[in-house]
Amino acid sequence: MSVPAPADDHIVLPQRPVRAPPSPFPLMAALAPVIVSVLIWLVTRSPFALIFAALGPVIAIASVLDSRWSTGRRLKKDLTAHARKMNHIADLIESRLDTERAERKAAQPSARVLLDATDPAGNARFSRWRASGALRSRVVLGTGTLPSELRLEGAVDSDDTLALRQKARHVTGVPVPVDATRGLGVVGPPTLARACARGILLQLCNAMPPDTAAVRVDGDGWDWASVLPHTQTESAEVTIQVRDLTSSLLDERNASESDRGPHAGDTAILLVVADAIDSVPTSCGVVLEISSIGTALLHRLAPDVPSGSRTGTPRTQSIDVELVTSAECGQYARSLAELAQRRGVMHAPADLPGTVSFREAHESATTKQIRGAGAGTSLLAVIGLGASGPATVDIVRDGPHAIVGGTTGSGKSELLATWVASVALQHSTDEVNFLLVDFKGGSAFAPLQSLPHVVGVLTDLDEVAATRALASLSAEVRYRERMLSELGCRDIAEARGAFPRLVIVVDEFAAMLDGFSELSALFVDIAARGRSLGMHLILCTQRPVGVMKDSLLANCGLRLSLRVHDRSDSVAVVGTDAAAQLQPDQPGRLILASGGVVSRVQVATVTQPEIDQITHSTPVTVPVRRPWLDPLPSRIALEDLEPADGIRLGLADLPGMQRQDTAVWRPEVDGSVLVVGTARSGKTTLLDVVTAEVTTARSGHAPWTFVRVGTDDEETWDVVTGLAARLRTGLDPGQRTLLLIDDLDSIFARMDDEYGTKLRDAVVEILRDGPRLSLWSMLTAQRLTGSLGALSGFAGALLVLRVANRQEHLMTGGESATWVANRGPGNATWRGATVQIALPGNSVDSDGDSLGRVPRRSRHGRNTTAPHYDFHAHAITLVVCPFPQRRTELLLAGNPEAMERGKLRVASLDGAARLSVADLALDLPGPVVLIGDSEDWQAQWALFSALRQSADLVLEGCSVSEYRALTKRRELPPLLAVPGHAWHLPPGGRPMRVRLD
Are 543 and 408 contacting, i.e. CB atoms less than 8 angstroms apart?
A: no
Binding residues for ATP, by number, are 406-413
> At 914, which helix (H) or strand (E)?
none
| Residue of 224, 202, 221 lying closest to 213 (CA atoms) | 202
| Residue of 398, 473, 450 lying closest to 657 (CA atoms) | 473
Q: Where are the beta strands (DSSP E) in 788-902?
A: 797-800, 827-830, 833-837, 876-880
Q: Residue type at 982?
A: A
Could you please report the per-residue DSSP string of 71-84?
HHHHHHHHHHHHHH
Residues comprising the chain, all counted: 997
Question: Cα(438)–Cα(125) distance, rounded to whole angstroms?
Answer: 45
Q: Where are the beta strands (DSSP E) in 219-371?
A: 238-244, 267-274, 286-292, 295-300, 315-320, 356-357
Are 434 and 505 contacting, i.e. CB atoms less than 8 angstroms apart?
A: yes
Whether the upstream peptide bond of residue 400 has omega within 30° of 0, thus cis, is: yes
Q: In sequence order, what are the residues at sequence separation of 6 or more whose Cβ sits closer than 8 angstroms to the Cβ of residue 644?
A: 662, 664
Question: Cα(75)–Cα(81) distance, rounded to whole angstroms?
Answer: 10
Question: Cα(764)–Cα(766) distance, rounded to whole angstroms?
Answer: 5
The percent helix, strand, coil of the chain (3-state, each to 5) is 40, 20, 40
Question: Cα(15)–Cα(79) distance, rounded to whole angstroms?
Answer: 10
Question: Cα(372)–Cα(378) distance, rounded to whole angstroms?
Answer: 6
Specify the pairing of strand 992-995 against strand 981-985.
Answer: antiparallel
| Residue of 256, 741, 733, 655 lying closest to 458 (CA atoms) | 655
Question: Cα(469)–Cα(168) distance, rounded to whole angstroms?
Answer: 69
SS3 15: coil
Q: Residue type at 607?
A: T
Contacts 24+ apart (CB under 8 A), 356-359: 356/384, 356/385, 356/588, 356/602, 356/603, 356/604, 356/605, 357/604, 357/605, 357/607, 358/418, 358/421, 358/422, 358/604, 358/605, 358/606, 358/607, 358/610, 359/610
Q: In sequence order, what are the residues at sequence separation of 6 or more whose Cβ sits closer than 8 angstroms to the Cβ of residue 645?
A: 664, 666
> At 92, which helix (H) or strand (E)?
helix 55-107
Question: Cα(767)–Cα(762) distance, rounded to whole angstroms?
Answer: 9
Question: Cα(232)–Cα(662) distance, rounded to whole angstroms?
Answer: 68
Are 140 and 319 contacting, i.e. CB atoms less than 8 angstroms apart?
A: no
Question: Cα(595)–Cα(744) distance, rounded to whole angstroms?
Answer: 67
Tell me the torsion sign for CA atoms 48, 53, 56, 61.
negative
Are 340 and 346 contacting, i.e. CB atoms less than 8 angstroms apart?
A: yes
Are 659 and 639 contacting, i.e. CB atoms less than 8 angstroms apart?
A: no
Are 196 and 323 contacting, i.e. CB atoms less than 8 angstroms apart?
A: yes
Binding residues, by number, are 406-413
Question: Cα(481)–Cα(458) distance, rounded to whole angstroms?
Answer: 24
Per DSSP, 772 falls in state: G
Specify the pairing of strand 213-218 against strand 356-357.
Answer: unpaired
Specify the pairing of strand 659-665 against strand 501-507.
Answer: unpaired
SS3 628: coil
Using alpha carbons, list the distances in angstroms from residue 956 to 909, 933, 934, 976. Answer: 15, 9, 10, 9
Are 591 and 561 contacting, i.e. CB atoms less than 8 angstroms apart?
A: yes
| Residue of 706, 714, 668 lying closest to 688 (CA atoms) | 706
